[in-house]
């Protein structure tokens, strides 16, 4: 009786997929995205780590199974009953992993310098839908797989070893490169259909090109320093620290400017300190030096001038982020920005503001907030 019910359900599911064949991959892709959006929180949370590792492992296994379908390897076996679902499973895991990376990167991305890499991730997220028609293209399969693998290891390894620097990034890249080439080599060695469709040298060349391109992005400082993420960045008139709490006094912007806490025009009074407060999320036990790079725009030369780098240490683990601030007193009027950077000068975020020195003006919309 149970077997009959299972067969009936499978038959109905197959009929549903055939009837909606055009939209099924998109639905599985969206399912992967929604699942991650609703469930993922912190990159160092056990649940998140388990989900990401299961996604990556399942993607690797499914990719292996799918590439042996044309060889008839699964005919008359248990897996043979589910061959038609392999592309949908790949779609789901591609969608789940790429959406997870978009979610994490969006918390860390600085629109000033690292937006280009973030755009690539978003394009990958939506370009995933193209695989519904080209999932059999092995170059596309393995190219996307390697890119996702590279991103996966750059997230996971720093979290596991509680350390993040250029060497760790390079190690993460090598781990992803070796593991991806190993998977491809295994599939190529046991799958005659793959050997007919793929020129191994050309495929390896494509993988190495992607590997080199990501490294170029990193050394050009176009990749956000995940898993670090700036959660708050405010230019303030006063900051007090009491009982492990920070009391930040700053000017608020108009109500419809919902994406920024502070007002861009900073009314500066003589002998007043200008404070910049930031809170930065870092995984548990990860220690890192963070710098506030104060820069001023020289309208005469049309260039940004670095005024000073002021640094402090952070230790990860706090949900609200590690809090800290820097300040300056002798400031010039004009456009300023404080870049929040790591030792490697990777940008976590930017706090923009314009200093206005005018004794007749008074700060407005002043708010005191506790962090």
pLDDT by residue, tens only, the chain of 371 residues:
444 444 444 555 555 555 555 555 556 556 655 666 666 666 667 788 888 899 999 999 999 999 988 888 888 888 877 788 888 888 778 877 877 777 666 655 454 555 555 566 666 655 555 555 555 678 888 988 999 999 899 888 888 887 878 888 999 999 999 999 999 999 999 999 999 988 999 999 999 999 998 999 888 877 777 777 777 889 999 998 888 788 999 888 777 776 677 888 888 887 889 999 988 877 766 677 889 999 999 998 999 999 999 987 665 556 556 788 899 988 889 999 999 888 888 888 888 899 988 777 777 778 888 88
d(Cα 307, Cα 304) in Å, to the nearest integer? Answer: 9
Q: Within this chain, do residues 186 and 234 fall inside the same structural domain, yes or no? A: no
Q: Within this chain, do residues 48 and 180 fall inside the same structural domain, yes or no? A: yes
Last residue of a domain, one of 175, 193, 219: 219
> Which of 209, 22, 29, 170 minimizes the C-alpha distance to 102?
29
Q: Within this chain, do residues 184 and 235 fall inside the same structural domain, yes or no? A: no
- Whether 292 and 323 have beta carbons less than 8 Å apart is answered as no
User: Which DSSP helix (H) or strand (E) runs through 216?
Assistant: helix 200-219
Q: Within this chain, do residues 166 and 277 fall inside the same structural domain, yes or no? A: no
3-state SS, residue 3: helix
At 280, which CATH number?
A: 2.60.40.1930
- Take residue 213 and report the two structure tokens written for it: 């391109």
181 within some domain: yes
8 within some domain: yes
Q: What region does 220 belong to: left with phi over 0, alpha with psi -120 to 50, or beta?
A: alpha
Total structural domains in the chain?
A: 2
- Take residue 36 and report the two structure tokens written for it: 């991650």
Show Cβ contacts of residue 325 under 8 Å, excluding neighbours closer than 6 positions. Answer: 236, 239, 246, 275, 276, 277, 278
The per-residue pLDDT for 306 is 93
Q: Within this chain, do residues 241 and 182 fall inside the same structural domain, yes or no? A: no
124 within some domain: yes
3-state SS, residue 108: helix
d(Cα 272, Cα 279) in Å, to the nearest integer? Answer: 23
Q: Within this chain, do residues 25 and 95 fall inside the same structural domain, yes or no? A: yes
Q: Within this chain, do residues 196 and 289 fall inside the same structural domain, yes or no? A: no
- Whether 261 and 218 have beta carbons less than 8 Å apart is answered as no
143 within some domain: yes
224 within some domain: no
The per-residue pLDDT for 90 is 83
Q: Within this chain, do residues 235 and 350 fall inside the same structural domain, yes or no? A: yes
Q: Within this chain, do residues 204 and 95 fall inside the same structural domain, yes or no? A: yes
The per-residue pLDDT for 129 is 52
Last residue of a domain, one of 163, 193, 219: 219
> Which of 228, 261, 258 minimizes the C-alpha distance to 371?
261
113 within some domain: yes
Helix, strand, coil percentages in the chain from 3-state DSSP, rounded to 5: 50, 25, 25
347 within some domain: yes
Last residue of a domain, one of 187, 219, 251: 219
d(Cα 354, Cα 350) in Å, to the nearest integer? Answer: 13
Give the residue numbers spanning the domain of 341.
Answer: 229-370
168 within some domain: yes
Q: Within this chain, do residues 258 and 210 fall inside the same structural domain, yes or no? A: no
> Tokens 């992993």 identify what position?
97
- Whether 117 and 150 have beta carbons less than 8 Å apart is answered as no
The residues facing 259 across adjacent strands are: none
Q: Within this chain, do residues 62 and 121 fall inside the same structural domain, yes or no? A: yes
User: Which DSSP helix (H) or strand (E) runs through 368?
Assistant: strand 366-370
Q: Within this chain, do residues 110 and 176 fall inside the same structural domain, yes or no? A: yes
């Amino acid at each position: 009786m149970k077997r009959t019910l299972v067969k009936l359900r499978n038959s109905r599911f197959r009929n549903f997929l055939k009837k909606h064949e055009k939209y099924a991959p998109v639905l599985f892709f969206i399912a992967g995205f929604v699942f991650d959006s609703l469930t993922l929180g912190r990159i160092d949370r056990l649940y998140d780590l388990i989900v990401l590792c299961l996604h990556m492992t399942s993607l690797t296994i499914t990719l292996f199974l799918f590439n042996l379908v044309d060889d008839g390897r699964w005919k008359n076996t248990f897996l043979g009953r589910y061959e038609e679902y392999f592309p949908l499973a790949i779609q789901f895991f591609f969608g789940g992993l790429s959406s997870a990376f978009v979610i994490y990167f969006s918390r860390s991305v600085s629109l000033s310098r690292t937006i280009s890499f973030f755009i690539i991730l978003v394009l990958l997220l939506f370009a995933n839908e193209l695989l519904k028609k080209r999932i059999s293209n092995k170059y596309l399969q393995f190219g996307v797989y390697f890119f996702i693998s590279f991103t996966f290891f750059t997230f996971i390894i720093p979290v596991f070893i509680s350390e993040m620097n250029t060497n760790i990034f390079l190690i993460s890249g090598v781990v992803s490169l070796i593991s991806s080439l190993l998977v491809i080599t295994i599939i190529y060695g046991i799958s005659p259909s793959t050997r007919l469709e793929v020129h191994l040298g050309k495929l390896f060349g494509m993988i190495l090109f992607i590997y080199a391109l990501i490294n170029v992005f990193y050394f050009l400082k176009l990749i956000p320093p995940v898993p670090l993420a700036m959660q708050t960045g405010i230019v303030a008139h006063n900051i007090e620290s009491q009982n492990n709490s920070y009391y930040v006094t700053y000017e608020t912007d108009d109500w419809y400017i919902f994406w920024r806490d502070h007002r861009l025009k900073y009314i500066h009074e003589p002998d007043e300190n200008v404070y910049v407060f930031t809170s930065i999320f870092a995984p548990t036990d990860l220690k890192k030096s963070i710098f506030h790079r104060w820069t001023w725009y020289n309208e005469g030369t049309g260039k940004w001038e670095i005024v000073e780098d002021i640094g402090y240490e952070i230790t990860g683990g706090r949900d609200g982020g590690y809090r800290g601030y820097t300040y300056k007193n002798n400031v010039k009027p004009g456009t300023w920005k404080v870049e929040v950077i790591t030792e490697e000068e990777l940008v976590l975020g930017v706090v923009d503001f314009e200093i206005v020195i005018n004794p007749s003006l008074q700060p407005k919309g002043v708010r005191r907030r506790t962090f």
